[in-house]
Structure 1
């Protein structure tokens, strides 16, 4: 029996080893300022007492992740000292010795073992067709889409971050809900929130799902649910898990009276509406509409040119600016817009949960809604929607269609993160390989006779090719490169934002269709 299982999962081991080998080849590639961010956090947690962690400001890259991630860095620092103790000196700003680079790269690769395990657990949750060959199996396609995800590869293993093990915890939590191990899933998500607070974006999906499907209802094997009396015991159990996790995480800072200081680091609302490089969301479209209206107003003489600073008109993506024509957006406005964007799917999940798959769809929409309407959204946050959506894409033709558009545009929007010449062929080749596999495998799975996408969608995605040529090869040769360097980023963000908005609408249509179909079936 063990030999049979081992043989059955040998392909998974090959995929995991292959991508790990690729990560090792990327060790000496370009790394961003995030590399220095995490080196500084290693130094802070290793060299200073806990009472100074969230006050230390020698570097501009201050500690701004939740306490559990600080303890994670603390643990890594005790291994790092055997590679190069100088990396743990707070005053050694921008320190990047070969040993430091090797350690930090290896730390990301090793912690990705959590992600690999989580992917294996997710593969057990998809519906399989035993008659298909390996390349046509949903589990094989899913494993490849996750393990070889283009976004994770370039963000973690070139640009440099620790998203892999964090997404591993998220996917493992989702898998536990598929397996009806809800308390374990809740515990994993609570731990995740205390590692990186960006996952608060999808916390409403967890809250509604656990309340509806764990405290109020019982999930059947077919994904349907049955109402039953409310279980106060289950609610208390969930509350104990969540509160105890947060209490253990924040306990040292509660005792030190530093919780307000920690929270001020976690939620720095003084930052602008958009990150320096606009994420492809609603605010990118809003910003470009404001610039277009201001330019039109100046041309027609409707606006006073003396009221516009040069930065607001040509600074584009490189600094904060006030909107010139449209109303400026405050953090409260983005919060309201975000809540309004996710409330319908939360309501639909409450009315018709549709088991763990309904929860997963709700999670993706919450992630995408927060990405589209949130305050100071980073472009990398699109991965929070793409990765969980992979599980749905291998089980539904309509989801596969939406996934292909979201994955392609979302990943394309990450390309400007790697702006050095030596990484240009690497990012293009890896994205091409991942995109070709995504299209070919999902088309084979659902649409043997043709393409999953309609002609308009195909034309839109093909438009990414000339866009990349213009941004990477044509525009740098023009005289505008010196005066308007932000134009390639602007074009990328705005063009990709159209695809992201379209996918958000399609996802909501699938939710409403499911709800309407369920209501008709119930009435019959």
Structure 2
């Protein structure tokens, strides 16, 4: 099993090397600046430095990660490590930063290999390789379309971070609970966005590790609570956080660090709206405003005094007709929509699959209702759902829908003409593999429909997926030809965000429905560690 994973990694690494000269987003300069900050300045100034607008706003472990990279970067080009060299991008700098992402992706490859070992052994009946769960999953994760374009074109380190997440999940699946908790605590101190899935970790570990027995009905046996296990988990997590934040607490800089990690002045939505509930909310407000102005219910002057939500800028704005949304409202909605999945996880842990399903639902809730959500966060649902897709027909159906629409929603990140053929071809190749491999895995299951349909999907889902094609044609071809790029510049982004949000929300509701319908199974408690 391990052999073919490394073959896939080698082939993909070659492809990633070919992408080195491709388009780079501002995130490239963000990480170059962080290299310079951590290399050139003492730790006491890391979270105060603001020469560049791209200030350090990740947790301390990621800052130390940049520091370690900078020790190698100096061998490529010392000039990239000067704080005042804003926008510096020499050939050596580009080469180093691109290679750093490719090399750290090995963490993801290792985690995928480890998780594949927890899957049922491959069948030995001569069937094609992609009908085997391990082979299929390795391609779904290591060759994930979103990770390819975000990390190796747009530029980020998501592969490395998802590797830590998958390693944490794998260790818990292997009944190595404390090790799994350790890696998740480490992950949180690398990038705090993963705090969105922390409730699933807390509930599952408390239910299956700290409570050591169940009653006859499958519910928790309250007298089985183990203070020792609870203390072990608490000490482990606190120790990791103390190692991360300790130096800044000692320097009385914790408030400054937290202000960088949790800024709330960026507005409800990102410049390009993530395909979530707030995209629909914004469009509804815009439509009601237009109707209101034309009918005289809303004064046209009110628009002159409010920031436009369709300006394509990161800014705070107020809605015109519908109530404006404060951060606390998004937190409340996120928490409330997570609650049913967490209660179900508590009552029916269902082993690792129930845990992974709850992680995915928590990620869904945070993406759909969170504050200032980036479109790239859709990978928080797609990656864990991949683990379930190779093990459950129902989950595979949701995965095919979500991965297709979710990855399509990332297209606006690569807006340069040179990258258009790359993103289209990679998207077609990856999506085709998803459908073919899932169809091969679940072919014995009878899911035929009277109307034409894509593998595993019903005709309605198929029509929705096919609708992505004319949407793309309009946004990338027809809209510019009609000369609307200046007067209605934000329209293509709006259409893509709204259309994709329907698919994302539908996938969330469908996964929720199948999760809550599942009967409880006996709790699988961890062995004493």
TM > 0.5 fold call: yes
1:447: Cα distance to partner? 3.2
Match of 1:512 in 2: 516
Equivalent position to 1:428, from 424, 427, 432 = 424
Match of 2:165 in 1: 170
Write the distance in 2 (CA, Å) between the matches of 1:226 and 1:126: 27
Write the distance in 2 (CA, Å) between the matches of 1:444 and 1:160: 34
Aligned to 1:315, the other structure's residue is in SS state: coil
Match of 1:4 in 2: none
Write the distance in 1 (CA, Å) between the matches of 2:220 and 2:278: 41
Write the distance in 2 (CA, Å) between the matches of 1:467 and 1:34: 28
Equivalent position to 1:363, from 356, 359, 369 = 359
Q: Compared with structure 1, are the counterparts of its residues 314 and 348 closer, same or farther at alpha carbon in structure 2 (3 Å cutoff)?
A: closer
Unaligned runs of 5+ in 1: 1-7, 520-524
Write the distance in 2 (CA, Å) between the matches of 1:248 and 1:260: 17
Match of 1:318 in 2: 313
Unaligned runs of 5+ in 2: 449-454, 523-529
1:302: Cα distance to partner? 1.4
Write the distance in 1 (CA, Å) between the matches of 2:31 and 2:425: 28
Q: TM-score of the superposition, structure 2-length normalised?
A: 0.93
Contact 2:204 2:355 in 1 (8 A): yes
1:308: Cα distance to partner? 1.4
Write the distance in 1 (CA, Å) between the matches of 2:309 and 2:319: 13
Structure 1 residue 305 and structure 2 residue 300: aligned? yes
Q: Compared with structure 1, are the counterparts of its residues 271 and 313 closer, same or farther at alpha carbon in structure 2 (3 Å cutoff)?
A: closer
Aligned to 1:480, the other structure's residue is in SS state: coil
Aligned to 1:90, the other structure's residue is in SS state: coil
1:506: Cα distance to partner? 0.7
4+ residue runs over 4 A deviation: 224-228, 310-314
Matching of residues 420-459 of structure 1 within 5 Å: 420-447=416-443, 450=448, 451-459=455-463
Match of 1:91 in 2: 84
Deviates more, 1:479-488 or 1:105-114: 479-488
Write the distance in 1 (CA, Å) between the matches of 2:185 and 2:521: 32
Cα deviations by residue, 1:53-106 (Å, 9 ceiling, x for unpaired): 000000000000000000000011010000000000000000000000000000
Structure 1 residue 483 and structure 2 residue 487: aligned? yes
Write the distance in 1 (CA, Å) between the matches of 2:207 and 2:401: 31
Match of 1:72 in 2: 65
Equivalent position to 1:340, from 327, 336, 348 = 336
Count of matched residue positions in the alignment of Structure 1 and Structure 2: 507
Q: TM-score of the superposition, structure 1-length normalised?
A: 0.94
1:315: Cα distance to partner? 3.4
Q: Compared with structure 1, are the counterparts of its residues 260 and 75 closer, same or farther at alpha carbon in structure 2 (3 Å cutoff)?
A: same
Equivalent position to 2:19, from 15, 21, 26 = 26
Equivalent position to 1:49, from 27, 42, 45 = 42
1:480: Cα distance to partner? 2.1
Contact 2:2 2:113 in 1 (8 A): no
1:274: Cα distance to partner? 0.3
Two-structure CA RMSD over aligned residues (Å): 1.6
Structure with the higher helix share, 1 or 2? 1
Aligned to 1:308, the other structure's residue is in SS state: helix
Match of 1:194 in 2: 189
Matching of residues 105-144 of structure 1 within 5 Å: 105-130=98-123, 131=125, 132-144=127-139
Write the distance in 2 (CA, Å) between the matches of 1:350 and 1:313: 43
Write the distance in 2 (CA, Å) between the matches of 1:22 and 1:45: 30
1:479: Cα distance to partner? 2.8
Match of 2:5 in 1: 12
Cα deviations by residue, 1:145-167 (Å, 9 ceiling, x for unpaired): 00110000000000000111100
Structure 1 residue 81 and structure 2 residue 77: aligned? no
Write the distance in 2 (CA, Å) between the matches of 1:376 and 1:117: 32
Write the distance in 2 (CA, Å) between the matches of 1:30 and 1:112: 19
Match of 2:378 in 1: 382
Write the distance in 2 (CA, Å) between the matches of 1:158 and 1:342: 33
Q: Compared with structure 1, are the counterparts of its residues 434 and 310 closer, same or farther at alpha carbon in structure 2 (3 Å cutoff)?
A: farther
Write the distance in 2 (CA, Å) between the matches of 1:503 and 1:157: 27
1:396: Cα distance to partner? 0.8
